[in-house]
Amino acid sequence: MGSTFDDLPDVAIARDLLRRWWGLELGLAEAGGGGYVRKSHAVCETIHGAAPAACAGALAEIAAELASSKSRDPVIRQCHAGLILVVAPVFGAHGLIGVVYATGARAAERPLAEVGEGLAAIVGSPAEASAMAGAVPVLGADDVGRVRDLVVSAAAAVERVQPAVVAPTTFSHPFTEIVGEAAAVRDVVKLLTKVVKSEATVLVHGESGTGKELIARAIHYHGPRAKKPFVVQNCSAFNDNLLESALFGHVRGAFTGAVKDQPGLFQVADGGTFFLDEIGDMSAALQVKLLRVLQEGTFMPVGGTKPVKVDVRIIAASHKDLATMVAVKQFREDLFYRVNVLKITVPPLRERVSDIPRLAQFFVAKHWRSAKGADATVPPRLAQGALARLVAYPWPGNIRELENEIERMLVLAGDAPELTGAMVSARVAGGAHTAPRALRDVIATAEADAIVAALGRHGGDRDSAAQDLGISRSYFDARSAALGLGASA
């Protein structure tokens, strides 16, 4: 087998839904239970660290049963730690070749104390085991059914393209709010794992709509101030006077209408994190006051005479190049060096084209659940024609624009089981915007267009389409999967 498990579109969709909805990981193990065992969360990490052989052994035992019975039915049971283990078989021409699985949750009907007792036998400390049990996700009967369906769909995707798939070396991280596995995203995640451990000021740079606030939230909620306030202010939202009052507060009588003391957002954020978005739009006068907060931890409210002391971690963001602004005297050099202690650059969507299918399905699931609430079932799928159009578009508005497009498509779809290419807006389908793109993205777009056109000419027959393009069927499937167009009919 090869190494493309995580690249299969159906697998990526299932994995992202499992992560977002229940905090679970999706994995692939060989028939003998070998391969990397994915841990869904810190509790699973602890369990695996204490008894790694038991984790692989549980999978190997189920795999052996499936191989013997030749059953294609998924298996749901408890792992050695008492957590739910959902397993679906993957069969090849000569029998079972592996299993796809998800684990790491507690069944709602199983008492918390009972799970704690099972964990205590593994970690040795009843107190630690009790805390671990409380941190484990809980699945009701309906949730278990949904997890089963997602695991089965992923197993079916693997079966369609085997024997070209094996268990991956894995790219996993704790930032479940960050969706994507493109190289540029991996670089951001690697840096984040270091940044969250510090108290240093961070500058997040990226185009509008790339998710700068999402990065700031990840830093806060995975860092030492996670239980303290997280406050957000866009510096371009107010004029100078209003922004100063919002940031630093004012005292009674400071100006007409100031009938009482009003604390500023820095006081609200005391002990926590203050995310200052679009800091490049801040006036020179306010830059001076912000510099004082960074240097001394104090500021003066509007109209005040006594400085206020706060303990705040500042995360700043801008779509502008602050270094260039410093060079042309539009941004204070001393403030720039204060906010630029650690810099994270968020890539535009056109530089992470391979993530578009999983981002699109993530937004489908998000808005589907939001619209349907408790009545939400498995969300509609994105048809290959729709994915081809989404992948080919350069997305000048980045992730925000993609999310808006998906929300629009869901409205048009109603209760249809699939979002089709016809539901994609004319703007996106026609690629009206011509934002500058890297050569690799231009090539990817051309490849996607050629594949979609060939499939159209041959009624979806992949063998004929591959022959038409002058490439082998295996290479045709590999490029289709890499471009998010599916790997088989």
Q: Kindly compute the dihedral angle of the four CA atoms of residues 20, 25, 26, 32, in this order, to the nearest 10 degrees.
A: -170
Q: Backbone phi, then psi, for 82, in 5-degree steps? A: 90, 10
Task: Using DSSP, state whether 243 is helix, strand or coil.
Answer: helix
Q: Is the pTM of this model over 0.75?
A: no
- The pLDDT of 248-254, averaged and rounded, is 82
- Give, as one character, the DSSP assignment of residue 380: P
User: Which of 59, 103, 63, 69 is CA-nearest to residue 83?
Assistant: 103
More confident residue, 407 or 4: 407
Judged by phi (left if over 0) then psi (alpha if -120 to 50, else beta), residue 429 lies in alpha
**In this model, does residue 434 exceed pLDDT 70?**
no
Contacts with 4 (C-beta within 8 Å, 6 or more apart), sequence order: 161, 164, 165, 478, 481
**In this model, does residue 362 exceed pLDDT 70?**
yes
Buried residues in 308-338 as b, exposed as e (16+ CB within 10 A): bebebbbbbbbbeebeebbeeeebbeebbeb
**Angstrom distance (rounded) from CA 43 to CA 136:** 7
- What pLDDT digit, counting tens, does each position of 72-106 carry? 899 998 877 778 889 999 887 677 888 899 887 88
Residue 487 · residue 8 · CB < 8 Å: yes
Element (H, E) at 29: strand 25-30
Q: Identify the pLDDT of residue 166.
A: 43
Element (H, E) at 242: helix 240-248
Q: Identify the pLDDT of residue 433.
A: 43
CATH fold, domain 183-346, is Rossmann fold (3.40.50)
Residue 331 · residue 338 · CB < 8 Å: no
Q: Which two tokens stand for residue 88?
A: 């679906």
pLDDT band, residue 168 (cuts 50/70/90): very low
Residue that is written with structure tokens 């229940």 in the block: 22
**In this model, does residue 477 exceed pLDDT 50?**
yes
Instruction: Report long-range pairs for 441-444 (Cβ below 8 Å, ≥24 apart).
Output: 441/350, 441/351, 441/353, 441/394, 444/353, 444/391, 444/483
Q: Identify the pLDDT of residue 273.
A: 95
Contacts with 101 (C-beta within 8 Å, 6 or more apart), sequence order: 26, 27, 28, 29, 59, 85, 86, 87, 88, 151
CA-CA distances (angstroms) from residue 460 to 159, 416, 481, 483? 20, 22, 15, 17
Q: Backbone phi, then psi, for 22, in 5-degree steps? A: -130, 0
**Angstrom distance (rounded) from CA 158 to CA 73:** 15
Q: Identify the pLDDT of residue 239.
A: 87
**In this model, does residue 435 exceed pLDDT 50?**
no
Q: Which two tokens stand for residue 22?
A: 């229940």
**In this model, does residue 489 exceed pLDDT 50?**
no
**Angstrom distance (rounded) from CA 331 to CA 320:** 11
Q: Identify the pLDDT of residue 5.
A: 65
**In this model, does residue 245 exceed pLDDT 90?**
no
pLDDT band, residue 51 (cuts 50/70/90): low
Class of domain 5-161: alpha beta
Can you give the residue ranges of every domain in the chain? 5-161, 183-346, 350-482
Strand 418-419, strand 249-250: pairing: unpaired
- What pLDDT digit, counting tens, does each position of 323-354 carry? 999 999 999 999 999 999 999 999 999 988 88
**In this model, does residue 478 exceed pLDDT 60?**
yes
- What pLDDT digit, counting tens, does each position of 7-47 carry? 677 788 888 888 888 888 888 877 655 444 454 556 666 66
Task: Using DSSP, state whether 254 is helix, strand or coil.
Answer: coil
Class of domain 350-482: mainly alpha
Mean pLDDT of the chain: 82
- What pLDDT digit, counting tens, does each position of 174-216 carry? 777 788 878 888 899 999 999 998 999 999 999 999 999 999 9
Task: Using DSSP, state whether 105 is helix, strand or coil.
Answer: strand
Give me the count of residues in the chain: 489
